[in-house]
Amino acid sequence: MSQARRPPEVAIFQGHRPQLKPAAVRIVIDTIRAFTHTQVAFEGGAERILLVASIDEARRRARQHPGWLLAGERNAVKPADFDLGNSPALTARAQLQGRTLVLTTSNGVQAVAHAAHDFEGLLLVTGLANAGSTVAATRAYLNAHPGPSPTVQILASHPEGDEDLATAQWLEARLHGLAQPDDTRAIRRVWECRAARKFADPTRPEYLSDDIPFCARRADAPFAMVVERQGADLWLTRQPL
């Protein structure tokens, strides 16, 4: 009888640029809002998303490809000349079928660029909503690439945000075959975190309160979101499950 496969070793980090050792899988989290936003964009028909570190680079790439849509934020606010911000609620209403997006954000995209450096394993991104599909993709990859002691590194990209830490701990538990913390607890932590309160503040009209219901939920898509390197570019694509 074959021996049962051991669960992976899981390490959680907070922030954009943690010191990382070799790993089989890296998962970057930005629950409010970048990787909730990208899930919604893919569900709306977006074909692929180019992740870039700076606003200037995003503009440059969009000028080179007039059909591409500029998306992103700084300090949670959409640059005036961008087609889309980082809002899952507004993106859910956009016509994105077959479109390519160029995305730059303050936390999630910066953490992806760091995680992708000199990395040849599976690089995934997620928010809480698509965390179950992310676990499924991680398990499938580890089963296809067996090793004596597989390691999964989870980057909660907001340096202090409990929404990303809640998602990271949910992922860690499921990768270890545990049912706790459950969905209800993780969702509550997202609703109650500092960022969610900021978006709910009626004196801050630049923040859209409609975004938080997209972020504070479990709603797995039939795909995981995988980062693929093509030359110097980092492309986010759908990996069907």
Pairing, β 151-156 against β 122-126: unpaired
How many residues are recorded in the chain? Answer: 241
Look at residue 53 and give its three-state secondary structure.
coil
Question: 199 and 89 in contact (C-beta within 8 Å)?
Answer: no
pLDDT of residue 40: 99
Which residue(s) pair with 236 in the sheet? 49, 227
pLDDT of residue 2: 44
CA–CA dist 29, 164 (Å, integer): 6
Chunk the chain into consecutive blocks of 10 residues (it has 241) and report each block's average pLDDT, rounded to whole numbers.
70 96 98 99 99 97 97 95 98 98 97 97 99 98 90 97 98 96 96 96 93 98 98 98 97
Question: 209 and 89 in contact (C-beta within 8 Å)?
Answer: no
What DSSP assignment string belongs to 142-203?
A: HHHS--SS-EEEEEE-SSS-HHHHHHHHHHHHHHTT---S-HHHHHHHHHHSHHHHHHH-TT
Going by C-alpha positions, the residue among 25, 20, 1 that lies closest to residue 145 is 25
pLDDT of residue 47: 98
* Per-domain boundaries in the chain: 9-240
3-state secondary structure 192-230: HCHHHHHHHCCCCCCCCCCHHHHHCCCCCCCEEEEEEEE
Helices assigned H by DSSP within 100-161: 108-116, 131-144
pLDDT of residue 217: 98
Fold of 9-240: putative 2-phosphosulfolactate phosphatase (3.90.1560)
pLDDT of residue 148: 79
Q: In this structure, what token pair is assigned to residue 121?
A: 């394993």
How many CB atoms sit inside 10 A of residue 47's CB?
14
